């Protein structure tokens, strides 16, 4: 799924599209060669494939690059998940993370586009991240997807072009469905989010690095609203990492043997 997403991003950026088999073979070969520096779980080897256009031409505003370089950064990293860590989200209704037609593309410019609001949220509210909700439409943060866990229902935005289609989002919804949750992929507003959280709903962020980060509070219209519990999100996270660490059966065939 990660390779398919990078191919889609390349297509949407009008870059040459990496060939699936060669790309996967390069990833596996890199992991084999890095075997000695892969730390024990829950630390990991972070893989970040990067694609850049390389045509030696100045006038690229109207002509896509016919050539590109695909390289893969690999780095040992510690556990991104910190038990009990605060995750305070500033709910931002005025600004979008990036241009709406670029939302599902994983590209560096989108992070830069969001950075001003993230830094402002940190400075003015002590927030850890920004939840982008342009015109009240709940979307995602600068680098992770968002879902509301309201009782037995998990609510998250359907796959539109405005936001990044996370592989972890997909894994979490698959596992949560098997755990008996009702999955509702539908648009929802800040007003609905606020009412649900005030009545005890949980909220989570999903992304490859931390898998699931439970949200601990929201800042909405300058007022901090605490989230009552992080229990469900933490349990779903364990169901995912148990598969990653080989502690539970991989019945979805997600693991790649190297």
Ligand X SMILES: *Cc1c(COP(=O)(O)O)cnc(C)c1O
Q: Which of 127, 160, 164 is nearest to 144 (CA)?
A: 164
Binders of ligand X among residues 60 to 79 (CB under 6 A) are none
Q: Which CB, 56 or 108, lies closer to ligand X?
A: 108
Give strand ranges (E) for the chain.
44-53, 68-77, 88-92, 129-132, 145-150, 153-156, 182-185, 202-207, 211-214, 217-220, 223-226
Q: Which CB, 106 or 237, lies closer to ligand X?
A: 106
Based on the shown chain and the rule CB under 6 A, indicate whether residue 167 belongs to the binding site for ligand X. Answer: yes
Residue 120 bears catalytic tag = no
DSSP designation for 101: G
Q: Pick the piece of the chain touching ligand X (CB under 6 A) from 10-18, 61-69, 80-88, 202-210.
A: 202-210
Based on the shown chain and the rule CB under 6 A, indicate whether residue 106 belongs to the binding site for ligand X. Answer: yes
Question: What is the per-residue DSSP string for 69-87?
Answer: EEEEEEEEE-----TT---
Tokens describing residue 182: 């009702």
Based on the shown chain and the rule CB under 6 A, indicate whether residue 208 belongs to the binding site for ligand X. Answer: yes
Based on the shown chain and the rule CB under 6 A, indicate whether residue 143 belongs to the binding site for ligand X. Answer: yes
Binders of ligand X among residues 169 to 188 (CB under 6 A) are 169
Please tell me which residue in 60, 88, 106, 251 is annotated as part of the active site: 106
Based on the shown chain and the rule CB under 6 A, indicate whether residue 113 belongs to the binding site for ligand X. Answer: no
Closest distance of CB 108 from ligand X, Å = 10
For residue 106, cis peptide bond before it (omega within 30 degrees of 0): no
Based on the shown chain and the rule CB under 6 A, indicate whether residue 207 belongs to the binding site for ligand X. Answer: yes
Q: Which of 49, 166, 214, 233 binds ligand X (CB under 6 A)?
A: 166
Q: Which residues contact 65 (CB under 8 A, 6 or more apart)?
A: 14, 15, 16, 53, 54, 55, 57
Based on the shown chain and the rule CB under 6 A, indicate whether residue 206 belongs to the binding site for ligand X. Answer: yes
Q: Which residues pair with 53 in a beta bridge?
A: 68
Q: Which residues pair with 72 in a beta bridge?
A: 49
Binding mask 122-141 for ligand X (x = CB under 6 A): ------------------x-
Closest distance of CB 131 from ligand X, Å = 11
Q: Which CB, 31 or 167, lies closer to ligand X?
A: 167
What is the distance between the terminal CA atoms of the chain, rounded to a whole angstrom? 17
Q: Which CB, 111 or 216, lies closer to ligand X?
A: 111
16, 67 contact by CB (below 8 A): yes
18, 70 contact by CB (below 8 A): yes
Residues annotated as part of the active site: 106
- By CB under 6 A, name the binding residues for ligand X: 106, 140, 143-145, 164, 166-169, 206-208
């Amino acid at each position: 799924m990660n390779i398919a997403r990078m191919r889609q991003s390349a297509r949407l950026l009008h870059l040459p599209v990496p060939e699936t088999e060669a790309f996967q073979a390069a990833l596996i070969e890199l992991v084999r060669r890095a075997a000695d520096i892969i730390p024990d779980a829950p630390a990991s080897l972070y893989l970040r494939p990067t694609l850049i256009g390389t045509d030696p031409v100045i006038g690229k505003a109207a002509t896509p690059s016919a050539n590109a370089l695909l390289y893969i950064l690999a780095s040992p990293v510690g556990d991104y998940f910190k038990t009990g860590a605060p995750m305070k989200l500033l709910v931002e209704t005025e600004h979008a993370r990036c241009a709406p037609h670029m939302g599902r593309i994983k590209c560096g410019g989108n992070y830069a586009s969001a950075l001003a609001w993230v830094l402002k949220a940190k400075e003015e509210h002590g927030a850890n991240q920004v939840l982008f909700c342009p015109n009240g439409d709940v979307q995602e943060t600068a680098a992770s997807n968002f879902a509301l866990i309201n009782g037995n229902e998990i609510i998250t935005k359907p796959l539109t072009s405005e936001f990044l289609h996370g592989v972890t989002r997909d894994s979490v919804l698959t596992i949560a469905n098997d755990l008996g949750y009702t999955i509702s992929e539908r648009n929802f507003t800040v007003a609905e989010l606020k009412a649900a959280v005030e009545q005890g709903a949980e909220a989570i962020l999903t992304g490859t690095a931390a898998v699931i980060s439970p949200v601990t509070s929201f800042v909405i219209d300058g007022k901090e609203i605490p989230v009552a519990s992080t229990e469900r999100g933490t349990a779903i996270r364990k169901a995912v990492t148990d598969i990653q660490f080989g502690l539970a059966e991989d019945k979805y065939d997600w693991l790649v043997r190297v």
